[in-house]
Structure 1
Amino acid sequence: MALSATLYKAHLTVNNFDTNEFGTYELTVARHPSETEARLMLRLIAFANYAHDRLEFTRGLCVSEEPELWQKDDTGHPQRWIELGLPEFKRLKQRSSKATQLVVFAYGDQNAQNWREQNQSSWAKLDNLSVTYIETADLQSAAQRCQRRMELHVSIQDGLFELTAFGDTQSGEPINIRLEKWK
């Protein structure tokens, strides 16, 4: 019997002073059986970083032709295409032509550093590509705040990303997450 996805509910408040995006979002996120809580939290971090009423989670791991998140315009054309992990350049090149903006959230310390060294010169060919790196320690710290029902507050100012999680077992202690721009 196949394992089914686990649903997580997040009440997300975003105050992004860098882009003047402020909002509250009620999110339901399905965690694939093979997905870790750290990766689920990365999806929420990516959402918070690009928060918009039209930004939505896709079927992600279940459908390789879709990103983790996308934001479409009125015609259905993807304005923003957000991938997680260390995608091959061939995939990025294909996706680059499908969206106005292509975003990658890379993670994985040494693997990510190697991936960067191997691909950074090719990234210059993709004008609409933005690559952001998050350290494993920051991702693990965020994962410790993961619960089936979460109240998350994100504040972004001057490039600093602060996450505060509230819940039954959370004290509300904020953590600073370093989102390093690679391109």
Structure 2
Amino acid sequence: MALSATLHHFAVQLADVDRGVYEDLELRVARHPSETPEYMLTRILAYCLQYEEGIVFSDGGISATDEPAVQVRDLTGRTTAWIEVGAPDADRIHRGSKLAGRAAVYTHRDPVKVLAQYAGKKIHHAAAIPLYSFDRAFIDAAAALIDRRNTAALSITEGVLYLDLNGTSLRTDIIEQPLG
């Protein structure tokens, strides 16, 4: 018998001072049995840090092969932003950048190793695609705090992310590097 996804609820107060985005979000996130808490956390952070009208998690979650983890669609349903999580292969990023015109990668892994896998690979507008990473200790500590029902206050100011997750406060710099 196959295991089913576990549903997690996140009530998020988002205050992205850097972009002028202030929203109260109610996120229901299905965690696939093979998805790590660190990956799910990074997926949620990517959603919040890229938040704009039309943003959605992919329908297939971690098992989606033809969609990014997070994307932005316009009113016609066309993908306008392709947002990958983890360490996606170069072909996925290339295809997404061409399709959407804007792409980004968020990783909970070592960014040096993630960038190394793209060296010499063809990625459409690689220099314009940011790779965002976070301190590993932050990711590990925050992932350990995740429950089925979660409350979070997420603030971003001057490139620093402040997270209060289920009553515990954490902070990390948001490291941005181009893919190419």
Q: Give the TM-score normalised by structure 2.
A: 0.89
SS at match of 1:15: strand
SS at match of 1:182: strand
Q: Give the TM-score normalised by structure 1.
A: 0.88
The structure 2 residue matched to 1:181, chosen from 149, 154, 176, is 176
Identity %: 27
**Which letter maps to 1:75?**
T
SS at match of 2:131: strand
Residue 138 of structure 1 pairs with residue 133 of structure 2: no
Task: Return closer, same or farther for 1:75/1:151 CA change in 2, 3 Å cut-off.
Answer: same
Q: Does structure 2 conserve the Cα–Cα contact (< 8 Å) formed by 1:108 and 1:135? A: no
Task: Return closer, same or farther for 1:120/1:23 CA change in 2, 3 Å cut-off.
Answer: farther
- The alpha-carbon deviation at position 129 of structure 1 amounts to 1.6
SS at match of 2:138: helix
Q: Does structure 2 conserve the Cα–Cα contact (< 8 Å) formed by 1:100 and 1:128? A: no
Task: Return closer, same or farther for 1:124/1:80 CA change in 2, 3 Å cut-off.
Answer: closer
**Which letter maps to 1:165?**
L
Residue 119 of structure 1 pairs with residue 118 of structure 2: yes
CA separation in 2, counterparts of 1:124 and 1:66?
A: 17
Q: Does structure 2 conserve the Cα–Cα contact (< 8 Å) formed by 1:107 and 1:134? A: yes
Partner of 1:147: 147
Q: Does structure 2 conserve the Cα–Cα contact (< 8 Å) formed by 1:138 and 1:178? A: no
Instruction: Deviation per CA, 1:92-133: give whole Å up to 9, x if none.
Output: 111111113111012322xx4133134256568435422112
Task: Return closer, same or farther for 1:150/1:40 CA change in 2, 3 Å cut-off.
Answer: same
Q: Structure 2 stretches of 5 or more lacking a match?
A: none
Q: Does structure 2 conserve the Cα–Cα contact (< 8 Å) formed by 1:72 and 1:80? A: yes
Residue 82 of structure 1 pairs with residue 83 of structure 2: yes
Task: Return closer, same or farther for 1:92/1:41 CA change in 2, 3 Å cut-off.
Answer: same
Partner of 1:164: 164
SS at match of 2:168: coil
Q: Structure 1 stretches of 5 or more lacking a match?
A: 167-171
CA separation in 1, counterparts of 2:81 and 2:124?
A: 18
Within 5 A, what are the aligned runs for 1:5-16? 5-16=5-16
CA separation in 1, counterparts of 2:16 and 2:23?
A: 9
Residue 23 of structure 1 pairs with residue 23 of structure 2: yes
CA separation in 2, counterparts of 1:124 and 1:93?
A: 5
Q: Does structure 2 conserve the Cα–Cα contact (< 8 Å) formed by 1:16 and 1:22? A: yes
Partner of 2:96: 95
**Which letter maps to 1:7?**
L
Task: Return closer, same or farther for 1:53/1:13 CA change in 2, 3 Å cut-off.
Answer: farther
Root-mean-square deviation over aligned CA pairs: 1.8
CA separation in 1, counterparts of 2:43 and 2:20?
A: 21
SS at match of 1:71: strand
**Which letter maps to 1:140?**
D
SS at match of 1:98: helix
